[in-house]
Amino acid sequence: ARAEGWDMPTAYPASNYHTETAVAFAACVKGATAGKFDITVHPNGALFKGNDIKRAVQTGQAPIGERLISAHANENPLFGVDSIPFLASSFEASEKLWKAALPELEKLLASQNLVYVYAVPWPPQGLYTKKAVNSVADLKGVKFRSYSVATARIAELSGMIPVQIEAADLSQALATGVADSFISSGSTGFDVKAWEYMTHFYTVDAWLPRNVIFANKDSFDKLSASEKAAVKTCGDTAAASGLAQAKALTQKYIDALAANKMTVSAPGAQLKSELDGYGKTMTGEWEAKAGAAGKAIVDAYSK
Amino acid sequence: MEQVEFAGLFLVVLFFLLGTGVWVGLALVGVAFVGMALFTARPVGDAMITAMWSSASSWSLTALPLFIWMGEILFRTRLSEDMFKGLAPWMARLPGGLLHTNIVGCTIFAAVSGSSAATLTTVGKMTVPELKKRGYPERMVIGTLAGAATLGLMIPPSLTLIVYGVTINESITKLFMAGILPGLVLAAMFMAYLVIWAKLAKDYAPTPEPKISFAEKVAASRFLVPVILLIIAVIGSMYAGLATATEAAAIGVLGSLTLAALQGSLDAKSFLASLMGATRTSAMIALILCGAAFLSMAMGFTGLPRLLAEWIGSLGLSKFQLLMALLVFYIVLGCFLDGISSVVLTISIIEPMIRSVGIDVIWFGVFIVLVVEMAQITPPVGFNLFVMQGMTGHQMGFVAKAAFPMFLIMVAMVFVMILVPDLATWLPDHLTLAPG
Amino acid sequence: MAIARVFRFVLDGLYKTAAALAALSLFGVFAIIVAQMIARWSGQSLRGSTDYAGYLMAASSFLAFAAALNHGYHIRVTMLHSLLGRRGGRWAEIWAFGVGSVIATYIAWYACKTVWWSRKLGDLSQGLDATPLWIPQTAMAAGAILLALAFLDNWVRLVATGRHGVRAETSDQIPLE
Ligand code: NA
Ligand code: NA
């Protein structure tokens, strides 16, 4: 019975809004095909760990899956377009950037045997610290959790000490001071209960990374025309409702951090202009890596 | 009842492969293969390797071989003798005698290590030879050790609690604090059982320890200094922010190498022997973990744990009934899966159920660790049984029988926790870490 | 017979070399973690150290599989074998080593396939190390092949001579009885 349906591995808990969006997407597809086409969401990394999901879908081990796409920036800089620090730092800007990048990304995914279905952004990334930070000078020497090329580069530019902490060690590392600072969305800070270890949250809105939902091309091609249409239409609906969710939750999480006695504020003028400077530097570096396609995306976005 | 057919099939194939002498890790691969090949249209072999690679190369697992190596080094130092010289005078007069060192040793070492397999090998390497020498019944040596090693996951740090906390978005710090008191109570219950057993048993006739005065006992405690220093080094490095929970294992290796060097008990030859022994033991556990990772994935594809959990959810049970149902559920699941997989595969279904009947999720974290850890000492798939079997060369049936009383004590502990929920909730409610 | 001796020599040499590499890898895991801590204490960082530790751990496990089998570390239930008596026990052993050979070969096949695909797809690690994954996965494939070889080796010896080469060492690990 199960062979006719699709299994959809995702890396986040069932209560996360990305998972809820995926579950709604699955229900939508089922409804649109009169109950004939069933997608089962497997949250929590229970089927495949986050790291393995893209490869699993590429090679047909799973017919569809969800992945934080910028995690694959090592493979191709285009996958990191949504995570260039301080380039697109609002929902509107992020949407515009994503629209500019989508044709190239769809092409790239197709070359990897993947069909783009939809994408949902995370809330903007903010800066968590254990002290007040007014300028980049205050960050010098701070132990900063770097988990990606971009976060390592930010540490390098600002003179912070990058420390590599894996997700499993994060809470203890924060609690005991192995790391003093990290960049993440309000939702992640809420999830790890950042207020138990951190005092300040700066809404620097560094970038809005996205989870992309993609299907295996061979599996997708085997669907009937009406099933394909259902996947695409429901994907569009999911993208819209996921975006609305992300916007609604952003404020909710910021309020929750404040309610737990964290000092929540926008970055001061000096810090902001210094960070924007890093943004220009890193955008340039990204364009150099991503080549003509990358430059075209940034140009289209900046217009 | 589709799920009954699934469960029946898994059981039959697993018992058949294990019963006919197929190696445990490979038997798990065999069952997973049958399950996936029959119930999904996915490419089985590719998915299998994905699961194996992901499990074998995971960072958080690096602590396991290092703790095992630490045990191998300590086994070659005078530390085990010394620990006995230090503990024996205090324990010798208790009914049950030095068997208590198994439980006390596991409790102490649980505060250092995040897994029960590492706790088991380290403490076992130190205590088993000494206890054997003194004529303690082997059944009790093995049983108390296999049972007490589950404290490795109750008393923080704990891999299972980390996984649970990350999955349901609860504070790991709170969960860690919640585990402390129930862990100590469970250790006390193990010790109480030993006392009662020693009073009743006919085959309990260990070589009596020499009688000594209180002053001599205190003097003998100096032998505990090295082991205490080692524990302070490992725990201290974690709480002082010098090491992450995973890195602390390397501190343990460094510490035991230093100890060995100071005692002059480790030459090049025994250093290599310790490294080789650790490599092979870790490989043995890694093969089982690879098989378990694949089985866990296959179960996910078949949807069996989900179906079972949904079925329990549909029964509309009261709080107590639900806990009883979950107790049975996780014991059954524990026949096939390790603790962490049981949690990961089912928690997204279980979490809303427990929230809806008003069960405290921090309390439930300790409950779930307790029930999935029971599964470590029940056949056919029970990691502590496997490790014990590898360590002593006894058949799994013998080890499982030896550990069964400990299993019953853990079941009793579930009821203690239900009757006195404060055991788990008091510490996290009254101690909160201040930021900074 | 000479050929059999050459085979014996080559195979045992392979198992031993792999086991030595496995031990070296485990030591490497330790060395990397210590280096990572020292670097952090002194305000430095080692890019990708946690990923390298993970690769070495996988290498250590897989490369030691065959040696662990030959030294009787991998565990199983042999109650049936003792119940069946000598003749029946031998058939049960042939069955167990046969099933072991099939499953280990299956694992080895797909381990090689995944290395090939990782290369073809240009699969890179997602960590700071950005390692092409086929490189660390090669150690996994080599270890898996060796485990399959060890099983087949023992199975052939069992069929031909009635004795397999697995020598349990549990009594050496801990002096029991
Ligand atoms: Na522990
Ligand atoms: Na079990």
Q: What phi, psi does B324 have (nearest 5°)?
A: -65, -45
- Residue of C17 and B168 predicted with greater confidence: C17
Nearest listed ligand to the Cα of residue B337: 2
Alpha carbon distance B20, C18 (integer Å): 29
Considering just the CA atoms, what is the radius of gyration of chain A in Å? 20
Residue B195 has pLDDT above 60, yes or no: yes
State mean pLDDT over C33-47: 91
Average pLDDT over chain C reads 90
The pLDDT value recorded for residue C176 is 28
Name the interface residues of C facing A (CB cutoff 8 Å). 36, 40, 43-50, 117, 121-128, 130
Residue A39 has pLDDT above 80, yes or no: yes
The pLDDT value recorded for residue B63 is 82
Q: CA of C1, closest CA in chain B: separation in Å?
A: 30
Helices B396-419 and B172-200: crossing angle in degrees, nearest 10, is 120
pLDDT band at B166 (very low <50, low <70, confident <90, very high): low
Contact state of A59 with B302 under an 8 Å Cβ cutoff = no
pLDDT band at C12 (very low <50, low <70, confident <90, very high): very high
State mean pLDDT over A260-267: 94
Tokens of B278: 């650790």
Contact state of C125 with A112 under an 8 Å Cβ cutoff = no
Tokens of B159: 């891999």
Closest CA relative to residue B194, chosen from B433, B405, B337: B405
Tokens of A284: 């340039």
At residue B313, what is the residue type? G
Tokens of B245: 């929970």
Q: Which of A68-77, B210-219, C63-72 has the lowest mean pLDDT?
A: B210-219
The pLDDT value recorded for residue B76 is 81
Chains that touch A (3 or more CB pairs under 8 A): B, C
The pLDDT value recorded for residue B75 is 77
Q: CA of A132, closest CA in chain C: separation in Å?
A: 21
The pLDDT value recorded for residue A173 is 81
Beta strands in C75-134 (DSSP E): none
Alpha carbon distance B53, C139 (integer Å): 11
Residue B413 has pLDDT above 90, yes or no: yes
Contact A148, C124 (CB under 8 A): no
Per-residue pLDDT of B240-286, as tens digits, reads 888 887 788 899 999 989 988 888 888 899 899 999 999 998 898 88
Q: CA of A239, closest CA in chain B: separation in Å?
A: 23
Q: Which of B25-39, B105-119, C2-16 has the lowest mean pLDDT?
A: B105-119
The pLDDT value recorded for residue B98 is 86
Characterize the bridge pairing of strands A200-202 and A263-265.
parallel
Alpha carbon distance B247, A197 (integer Å): 20
Q: Is A45 within 8 Å of chain C by CB?
A: no
The pLDDT value recorded for residue B181 is 94
pLDDT band at B433 (very low <50, low <70, confident <90, very high): very low
The pLDDT value recorded for residue A40 is 93
Work out how many domains chain B is built from and give that number: 1
The pLDDT value recorded for residue B434 is 39
The helix (H) or strand (E) run that includes residue A125 is strand A125-129
Per-residue pLDDT of B279-291, as tens digits, reads 998 898 889 889 8
The helix (H) or strand (E) run that includes residue B176 is helix B172-200
Closest CA relative to residue A136, chosen from A122, A151, A154: A154
The pLDDT value recorded for residue B3 is 63
Closest CA relative to residue C48, chosen from C123, C128, C124, C126: C128
Contact state of A60 with B46 under an 8 Å Cβ cutoff = yes
Average pLDDT over chain A reads 92
Residue C76 has pLDDT above 70, yes or no: yes
Q: CA of C28, closest CA in chain A: separation in Å?
A: 18
Alpha carbon distance B145, B384 (integer Å): 9
Per-residue pLDDT of C90-126, as tens digits, reads 899 999 999 999 999 999 999 999 999 999 999 999 9
Tokens of C86: 């000598």
Contact state of B280 with C99 under an 8 Å Cβ cutoff = no
Categorise residue B190: left if φ over 0, alpha if ψ from -120 to 50, beta otherwise. Answer: alpha
Alpha carbon distance B102, A132 (integer Å): 49
How big is the A-B interface in CB pairs under 8 Å?
A: 114
List the strands of the sheet with A182-185, edge to edge.
A182-185, A125-129, A200-202, A263-265
Q: What percent of chain A has pLDDT over 70?
A: 98
Burial, C48: exposed, middle or buried (Cβ in 10 Å; 0-12, 13-18, 19+)?
Answer: buried
Helix (H, G, I), strand (E, B) or coil at B1: coil
Dihedral sign from CA coordinates of B207, B211, B216, B217: positive
- Residue of A166 and C17 predicted with greater confidence: C17
Identify which of C57, C176, C177 has the shortest CB distance to residue B61.
Answer: C57
Distance, first Cα to last Cα, chain C = 38
Residue A198 has pLDDT above 70, yes or no: yes
Residue B436 lies in a domain: no
The pLDDT value recorded for residue B167 is 67
The complex scores an ipTM of: 0.92
Q: What percent of chain B has pLDDT over 90?
A: 25
Per-residue pLDDT of A121-155, as tens digits, reads 999 999 999 999 999 999 998 999 988 888 889 99
Alpha carbon distance A44, B345 (integer Å): 8
The pLDDT value recorded for residue C108 is 98
Give the residue numbers spanning the domain of B183.
2-430
Count the neighbouring beta carbons within 10 Å of the beta carbon of residue A110: 13
Beta strands in B148-260 (DSSP E): none
- Residue of A66 and C172 predicted with greater confidence: A66
Identify which of C36, C50, C126 has the shortest CB distance to residue A51.
Answer: C126
pLDDT band at B48 (very low <50, low <70, confident <90, very high): very high
The pLDDT value recorded for residue B327 is 92
pLDDT band at B225 (very low <50, low <70, confident <90, very high): confident
The helix (H) or strand (E) run that includes residue B284 is helix B268-302
Alpha carbon distance B328, A75 (integer Å): 46
Q: What phi, psi does A263 have (nearest 5°)?
A: -85, 110
Residue B342 lies in a domain: yes
Per-residue pLDDT of A96-114, as tens digits, reads 999 999 999 999 999 999 9
Q: Which of A262-266, B351-355, C107-111 has the lowest mean pLDDT?
A: B351-355
- Residue of B170 and A287 predicted with greater confidence: A287
State mean pLDDT over B133-148: 89
Burial, B400: exposed, middle or buried (Cβ in 10 Å; 0-12, 13-18, 19+)?
Answer: buried
- The residue whose two tokens read 């082991």 is B227
Alpha carbon distance B275, B230 (integer Å): 19
Tell me the range of A65-79, B214-228, B352-366 where mean pLDDT is highest: A65-79
The pLDDT value recorded for residue C89 is 85
Residue C77 has pLDDT above 90, yes or no: no
The pLDDT value recorded for residue B169 is 66
Residue of A nearest to C49 (CA): A164
Chains that touch C (3 or more CB pairs under 8 A): A, B
Dihedral sign from CA coordinates of B356, B358, B361, B363: negative
Average pLDDT over chain B reads 84
Helix (H, G, I), strand (E, B) or coil at A40: strand
The pLDDT value recorded for residue C171 is 33
The helix (H) or strand (E) run that includes residue A215 is strand A210-216
Residue B339 has pLDDT above 80, yes or no: no
User: CA neighbours within 13 Å on the CB side: how many for B371?
Assistant: 23
pLDDT band at A3 (very low <50, low <70, confident <90, very high): very low
Alpha carbon distance B46, B30 (integer Å): 15
Q: Cis before residue B380, ω within 30 degrees of 0? A: yes
Count the neighbouring beta carbons within 10 Å of the beta carbon of residue C118: 20
Q: Is A156 within 8 Å of chain C by CB?
A: no
The pLDDT value recorded for residue C134 is 97
Alpha carbon distance A48, B340 (integer Å): 15
Gap from CA of B176 to ligand 1 centroid (Å):
9
Helix (H, G, I), strand (E, B) or coil at A115: strand
Q: Is B242 within 8 Å of chain C by CB?
A: yes
Residues 6+ positions from B271 with CB-CB distance below 8 Å: B73
Alpha carbon distance B301, B40 (integer Å): 7
Nearest listed ligand to the Cα of residue B381: 2
Residue B435 lies in a domain: no
Residue B134 has pLDDT above 60, yes or no: yes
Contact state of A198 with B435 under an 8 Å Cβ cutoff = yes
Closest CA relative to residue B274, chosen from A252, C173, C132: C173
Three-class SS string for B92-144? CCCCCCCHHHHHHHHHHHHCCCCCHHHHHHHHHHHHHHHHHHCCCCHHHHHHH
Contact state of B240 with A176 under an 8 Å Cβ cutoff = yes
The pLDDT value recorded for residue A48 is 92
Give A185's strand partners: A125
